[in-house]
Structure 1
């Protein structure tokens, strides 16, 4: 399975209410995967809210800091889930994507691309210590 088929499978499995395409290639890919869904185009001044943001060529030619800023804006204002394709010349490396909470979803060695997935609901597991067993109990305190 190549990276395009992988992204189409992820989009179909996610069944998002809306998709925001970050570039023309992403728009075509999302429209092919979800033909019954209206695909929105990402635009900077007033970005649309959507369930999933998809970028295929959006990172091409951007510096690492510009990629980080773009990802931050999308996560904050547009979508809780991002699917991004990193071409071989991408300025942000694997460690940079991991630092931003992404996981490698697919590596296509033939094309030299990597598909990164970020999902706000699953990017960080809840630590064991964060439960009621370790909370303070004010009724047990004596003055």
Structure 2
């Protein structure tokens, strides 16, 4: 188990090993939005394919965080409390849902080979 504490700095991430699950809290409340986005992006892309993010919406709003910002980063809202905490999750395998049209059936038409010239 690895534990990083505030204040969050990019350098902290260079000293850790990749993990399967990262649980993050106090990030959106303690960093400016661009720095927090960079930090979360680095965690998701290089260190943890699964992330649980706990955010206090009122405090995060002071750093310009809106609900859609979490969704834009690929997080899904999974729970909330009356005290204003929101819990988001990220899993790389669920990041991009499978689309029906994204397969060879719609891209290759072998039945049309040699029938038409373009």
TM-score, normalising length: structure 1: 0.64
The residue number in structure 2 matching 1:116 is: 88
Give 1:56's aligned residue. Answer: 25
TM-aligned CA deviation for residue 140 of structure 1: 4.8
Aligned residue for 1:65, secondary structure, equals: helix
Counterpart for residue 103 of structure 1: 76
Q: How many residues align?
A: 107
Gaps in structure 1 of 5+ consecutive residues: 1-18, 25-41
2-structure distance, mates of 1:129, 1:83: 31
Contact 1:22 1:54 in 2 (8 A): no
Cα distance, 1:137 vs. partner? 4.3
Which structure would you say has the larger Rg? 2
1:13 paired residue number? none
Contact 2:55/2:85 (<8 A) preserved: yes
Does residue 1:80 correspond to 2:45, yes or no?
no
Q: Which string of whole-angstrom CA distances, capped at 9 and with x for unpartnered residues, describes residues 56-91 of structure 1?
A: 223332111111101111011100011111112113
Root-mean-square deviation (CA, aligned residues, Å) is 2.3
Distance 1:137 1:21 in 2: 53
Give the helix-richer structure, 1 or 2: 2
- Aligned partner of 1:68 in structure 2 is 37
Q: Equivalent residue for 2:59?
A: 89
